[in-house]
Amino acid sequence: MTALDTRPERPETRLSKPRLPQWAPLLVLAVAAALGALAWLIGANTALSVLVAVVAYLVVMPVWSGVVESRRAAIDRLATGLVWSAFLVALVPLVWLIVTVVSNGISTINPEFLTYDMRGVLGNEQGGLYHALIGTLLITGLAALISVPVGILAAVYLVEYGAKSRMARILTFLVDVMTGIPSIVAGLFALSLFVLIFGPAVRLGFGGSVALSLLMIPTVVRSTEEMLRLVPDDLREASYALGVPKWRTILKVVVPTCVGGIVTGVVLAISRVIGETAPLLVVAGFTSSVNMNPFDGRMMTLPVFIYTQYTASTAQGLSYAWGGALVLIVIVMALNIVARIIGKIFAPKTGR
Amino acid sequence: MTSTATRPDPRPEAEPDAKPPLALGDRVFKALSVGSGALIMVALAGVFIFLALEGYPGLSVDEDFYNPATTFLGYAGPLLFGTVLAAVIALVIAVPFAIGIALFISHYAPRRLAVPVAYLIDLLAAVPSVVFGLWGGRELAQHIGGASVWLEEHLGFIPLFAGPAAKSGSTMLTAAVVLAIMILPITTAICREVFAQTPRLHEEAALALGATRWEMIRTAVFPYARSGMVSAVMLGLGRALGETMAVAMILSASPVVTLNIISGQSPATIASNIASNYKEASPDGQAVLIATGLVLFAFTFGVNFLARYLAGRGQRRMAR
Amino acid sequence: MAKSIDVSDLDIYYGSFKAVEGVNMTIRARAVTAFIGPSGCGKSTFLRSLNRMHEVIPGARVEGKVVVDGQSLYDPSVDPVAVRRQIGMVFQRPNPFPTMSIYDNVLAGNRLNSKRMKKSEADTIVEKSLKGANLWNEVKDRLGKPGMGLSGGQQQRLCIARAIAVEPQVLLMDEPCSALDPISTSAIEDLIHELKSDYTIVIVTHNMQQAARVSDDTGFFNLKATGEPGHLVEFNATKKMFSSPDESSTEAYISGRFG
């Protein structure tokens, strides 16, 4: 760029350029909020008022910046504003959903609701979701029983034995693809399998477990694999050098080192599938009474309970649906929190 | 040129005991883990095989089962259309937010905020789909119904909003919004990961050239993350295509092909159609539904395959 | 219990890449043998081939013979796991098992091989090994604490204690002091002096002064040229090596006239 040299003066060399004060975004935010409030006062609904405030901020901030600072700074401020609003808007459904479920569900929850089933419940008699709770626990428990050993062993294969072999690469890829299997397809698979064995009208809880396993295994494999890879090779070598065979090294040194992470992954995987509805609807069916035997007959689960009560479209059914949703969310969140706590407890030791 | 210095040395006592190269424990454990890996492959193949076995008769059953169409294609066509329409609209809504939130977590949020925000978004993924359906059908639908009326009045010239608006909100638009919320976490999580992996050096290079934060993101972060973002979007698409309950609980479906997303007449998706019709299905009807399930599986498999392939290719490119 | 090692015509490969070529030497029992040489010349690779640790890396293999006490290590009937029980190893970076206490770390070799032992027997082994590693006095009051809580030098001595707890014939050390400070280094060097009355010790070091201080014999490895495999240039008594080596390139390396 020879042109540069001919320029008499280069204003860019000045270091201090006009800048908006640090409190500028806050001021604009306040103004935008005020505009939103004004819109609300003259009759707009809440959503619209929030929209007004957001748009106001996104317009005023860049314009002000463009006038005082520069075009580039204005674009930067616009991007910042957009990113922040994306985050804030995304919080809306989460909060909204939780508030709705809690406020609608809390009135339904009582000891009877949790300990009664729906057998022979007519009209406004008190029923409950006990049968669904039992079903969910049994089916998910069985699914975990299948997926955890298979998933962990497959991850061990990928990390410890497969290394870069062809089969390992294919398996990694298939596991990745498998995480995207629609849950209803998993249900149809389990159904097809059991229909081939037992005939067309078959519905049983164990089928649900098979379907859930199909959804759960890839998550377990991925999280376990990740954890195993975090274990430094130093430790494996130290163990080999003591003359310890490979399988004992894996069981006694590698797995214990990352057991916290593995358990966290398993618990999170359980929390993912415990809320699955579609496959259970298809293969486990629904019933109104307690069935303790997952290998015989229909079995109710919590998500399916919510769905059937919802489709019943009665006031009673709807309140049961909300109550069931609250129970389900509490279970899922509890599992999530348990997973984080386990992760925390084991984290420092595996740290380094 | 190797010089050797050998020294005489007395060789004392016992021999190390000779053992077979792989001990029993090792062989058993290796067999178990290889077997588990193989089992997963077999299971995936099984999905294809069993769906094909049970679904094949569904391609040619009595015409009544395809009502109002007369062939399987005529039956599955509108469903596939509905599936893709819902998923694409959901993507259009979700992707900008996902990228925004991912950037927020990786580059904009104060440290103290980034971790809890990431956790909150993951929490959204933990909400069961049936609860999303309940909330979408009972709570969100009313508000979207209201908004639909406004959309019809003011934007009615766009085919998407042609109306007549369904006040109940049991529409494609509501379903798509809920789907968007449901695919937000996975799309965000993957974008966040690839954004965070941008080499610090690239970012600092951009900043050192006097770039603003946004310019740094455009010149250093986005080019690096492009293939990761594409695969995040594809994975979100895969999720949206297969999501069942939320759609089944929101949509009042009819076998039509229309772009109109705010009217009470919207096509069902394959998944939601299976869920809503499963109860009353006879063996033949069941076969038809399984056949549509196979179509869905093949379709999502393709999308996911492509997503992973693109992601893998991107990683290899970056590794170089 | 110490043994000597005879190496003849040893070639070491990583896949198709030949890393070390044509090594012949005899490592004496109850003596310290040091390997020196520039980085990447294959001395660590060679060391790892002495207890079949290099096989841990996929694609790595060996041609030639390593004979310990009349037994060829690479005979098809030989279990690498058994070899490693006889020939212990200490690594560059201290690597105690993070999930285990100091006590359990020392016993790891015995425990992991599922050897049943009485508490008193275990206590004896722990005390003996830790004393052997000059660590006993520093840790005897906190044997139940995690091994990761020790300083770097202590961790390395813990790893040595762990290695000698299984009573190997030979102790291989791969730059055991490179991650340590000078004081810890001198503690480990003192320890090597003491251990040599019971063990055959082979040590790789990048530090020539260290080789001169601790070893009886020294082997000098070098690359013929970049991209070529490493080879053993000279193997001699340490005293001779550092005063009047047979090879001119050894002298050049030792006196520092070398890249």
Q: Are residues A189 and A68 in the same domain?
A: no
Q: How far apart are CA A35 and CA A201, in angstroms?
A: 62
Which one of A240, A252, A351 has the shortest CB-CB distance to C53? A240
Please tell me the predicted confidence (pLDDT) of residue A14: 61
Residue B139 lies in a domain: yes
Q: How far apart are CA B271 and CA B290, in angstroms?
A: 10
Q: Are residues A100 and A166 in the same domain?
A: no
Q: Are residues A186 and A48 in the same domain?
A: no
Please tell me the predicted confidence (pLDDT) of residue A212: 93
Residue B37 lies in a domain: no
Q: Are residues A266 and A334 in the same domain?
A: yes
Q: How far apart are CA A171 and CA A150, in angstroms?
A: 13
Asked whether residue A336 carries a pLDDT value surpassing 60, the answer given is yes
Please tell me the predicted confidence (pLDDT) of residue B142: 84
What total number of domains does chain B contain?
1
Residue A257 lies in a domain: yes
Residue B85 lies in a domain: yes
Cα-atom radius of gyration of chain C, to the nearest Å? Answer: 18
Q: Are residues A157 and A259 in the same domain?
A: yes
Asked whether residue C246 carries a pLDDT value surpassing 80, the answer given is yes
pTM, rounded to two decimals: 0.80
pLDDT-derived band at B6, boundaries 50, 70, 90? very low
Please tell me the predicted confidence (pLDDT) of residue C227: 77
Residue B310 lies in a domain: no
Q: Are residues A89 and A197 in the same domain?
A: no
Residue A8 lies in a domain: no
Domain interval for residue A323 = 130-351
Which distant-in-sequence residues (6+ apart) come within 8 Å of A319 by Cβ?
A104, A107, A108
Pick the last residue of a domain from A105, A140, A168. A105
| Cβ-based neighbour number of residue C64 at 10 Å | 18
Q: C109 or A325, which is more confident?
A: A325
Domain of A209: which CATH number?
1.10.3720.10
- Separation in Å, CA C230 to CA A32, A313, B76, C74, C212: 72, 80, 67, 21, 22
Residue A200 lies in a domain: yes
Q: Which of A242, A212, A202 is nearest to A302 (CA)?
A: A212
**Cβ of residue B295 closer than 8 Å to a chain A Cβ:** no
pLDDT-derived band at A8, boundaries 50, 70, 90? low
What mean pLDDT, rounded, does chain B reach?
A: 81
The arithmetic mean of pLDDT across residues C113-137, rounded, is 86
Domain interval for residue B241 = 74-280
Q: How far apart are CA B218 and CA B40, in angstroms?
A: 41
**Cβ separation of A241 and C95 shorter than 8 Å?**
no
Residue A123 lies in a domain: no
Q: How far apart are CA B49 and CA B55, in angstroms?
A: 10
Q: C178 or B63, which is more confident?
A: C178
C233 CB neighbours in chain B (<8 A) are 1-3
ipTM of the predicted assembly exceeds 0.85: no
Residues B129/B240, Cβ–Cβ less than 8 Å:
no
Give the gap in angstroms from C-alpha C26 to the nearest C-alpha of chain B. 6
Q: Are residues A35 and A162 in the same domain?
A: no
Q: Is C233 helix (H, G, I), strand (E, B) or coil?
A: strand
Residue B115 lies in a domain: yes
Q: Are residues A157 and A306 in the same domain?
A: yes
Residue pLDDT, tens place only, A105-128:
888 888 888 877 777 776 667 778
What total number of domains does chain A contain?
2
B127 CB neighbours in chain A (<8 A) are 94, 97, 275, 329, 332
Q: Are residues A75 and A141 in the same domain?
A: no
Interhelix angle A183-198/B270-277, rounded to 10 degrees, is: 50
Token pair listed for A287: 């019933």
Residue A301 lies in a domain: yes
Query: Residues C66-103, buried b or exposed e (16+ Cβ, 10 A)?
Result: bbbbebebbeeebbbbbbbbbbbbbbbbbbbbbbbbbb
Residue pLDDT, tens place only, B275-302:
888 776 677 888 888 889 999 998 888 8
User: Which residues of C lie closer than 8 Å to A, measured between beta carbons?
Assistant: 51, 53, 56, 58, 81-86, 88-89, 91, 93, 95-99, 108-109, 111-114, 146, 148, 159, 162-163, 166
Q: Are residues A212 and A268 in the same domain?
A: yes
Which one of A96, A154, A181 has the shortest CB-CB distance to B33? A154
Q: Is A350 helix (H, G, I), strand (E, B) or coil?
A: helix
Please state whether B198 falls in left (phi above 0), alpha (psi between -120 and 50) or beta.
beta
**Cβ separation of C71 and B23 shorter than 8 Å?**
no
Q: Are residues A181 and A283 in the same domain?
A: yes
Domains of chain C: 5-254 (3.40.50.300)
Token pair listed for A106: 């809390």
Please tell me the predicted confidence (pLDDT) of residue C158: 92
Residue A307 lies in a domain: yes
Q: Are residues A185 and A254 in the same domain?
A: yes
Asked whether residue B209 carries a pLDDT value surpassing 80, the answer given is no
Residue of C99, C106, C115 for testing the chain A interface, max A β-carbons within 10 Å: C99
Which distant-in-sequence residues (6+ apart) come within 8 Å of C158 by Cβ?
C94, C96, C102, C105, C106, C130, C133, C135, C139, C147, C150
Domain of B244: which CATH number?
1.10.3720.10
Please tell me the predicted confidence (pLDDT) of residue A22: 78
Residue A13 lies in a domain: no
Residue A4 lies in a domain: no
